[in-house]
Structure 1
Amino acid sequence: MAQGSGKSVLFVCLGNICRSPIAEAVFRKLVTDAGTSKEWTIDSAATSTYEIGNPPDYRGQACMRKHDIPMSHTARQITRDDFLSYDYILCMDESNLRDLKRKGSQVQNSKAKIELLGSYDPQKKLIIEDPYYGRDEDFETVYQQCIRCCKSFLERT
């Protein structure tokens, strides 16, 4: 976890190899470009155990390289401590949201605000679809959604 002082956000999807590491990389670049990276703790995680220890999907990595956005991540599952330490847990779809709310309800003194990242989309596209079984273009769509949502989230926080 990249430690900052102040605000914190954890991006979450099912496996933590496609959508959430893209959102993490995009948000990290936005706060770095804004000169506010020291104010943030940023990471990403999975609701499942499927991909623990794996790097981001090669298609997502290629998409990030195309946009000159550094990406360095190893998939991990969300922990009990994440609900206690992060201000925001932003997820990609309704299934993630249900899983997170269920897990969060079991953590006493959870401080995390659990929301869909898409709730910040100025184009009102609420769900960020999983590109895993899709094509390269689907990763580009995820990237574009993450840019819009992360910019809006940063402006509001």
Structure 2
Amino acid sequence: MAAPFRLLFVCLGNICRSPAAEGVMRALVETKGFADRVLIRSAGTQGWHAGKLPDQRMRTAAQNRGYDLSSRARQVTEADLREYDLVLVMDRQNLKDVRAYDRDSQFDSKIRLFCEFCTDHQESEVPDPYYGGEQGFELVLDLLEDGCRGVLEHIRSALA
């Protein structure tokens, strides 16, 4: 069997957006029968929350939609850029921070903004819901559900 497609989602602290993306994507690939062909992880550009579960507000919002967010926060590493086939960042600052690990620009083509894969929403970034209210977490999940469908199509074509 071929090696799985390796997908990494990245946000700032790895406690809201990227673990939610990991949970939404994991549920989608399981539903579509790709669970054994896609390895999904998440990380943050900062390590403040390393080892912690996702933010309780994000877990509650995700759980209400049937998603399990049980991964533990970790900080992105330079090795991640070599090991993953696609690194999806949530906003332009994440993009800048992750590209800083890629000093020779050899991984430039695999580091992309998540919202490039959205088809139903016009946002160019997934906004950080940390300092806002419940609506922010719901918007994040709306964007993630939209974009993850596009990501799966991208992966399907890469695996074909």
TM-score (norm 2): 0.90
User: Counterpart in 1 of 2:53?
Assistant: 55
User: What is residue 113 of structure 1 aligned with on the other side?
Assistant: 110
What is the distance in 2 between the residues matched to 1:94 and 1:134?
19
Letter in 1 for 2:134: D
Q: Look up the match of 2:12.
A: 14
Measured after TM superposition, the shift of residue 156 of structure 1 is 2.3
SS at match of 1:104: coil
Residue 114 (structure 2) pairs with residue 130 (structure 1) = no
Letter in 1 for 2:37: E
Confirm or deny: 8 A CA contact 1:89 1:112 kept in the other structure: no
What letter matches 1:137 in structure 2? Q
Output the amino acid matched with 1:115: R
**1:33-89 CA distances to partner (integer Å, 9 max, x unpaired)?**
001110011000000122111110000100111011112111000112211110000
How much does 1:151 deviate? 0.4
Match of 1:31 in 2: 29
2:147 aligns with 149
Q: Counterpart of 2:63?
A: 65
Residues 85 and 112 of structure 1 are in contact (CA less than 8 Å); yes or no, is this contact kept in structure 2? no
Is the 2:99–2:108 contact (alpha carbons within 8 Å) kept by the matching residues of 1? no
Of all paired residues, the percent bearing the same amino acid is: 36
Q: Distance in 1 between matches of 2:154 and 2:47?
A: 32
Aligned residues: 153
Q: For 1:138 and 1:145, locate their aligned partners in 2 and report how far apart those are by CA, in whole Å.
A: 11
TM-score by length of 1: 0.92
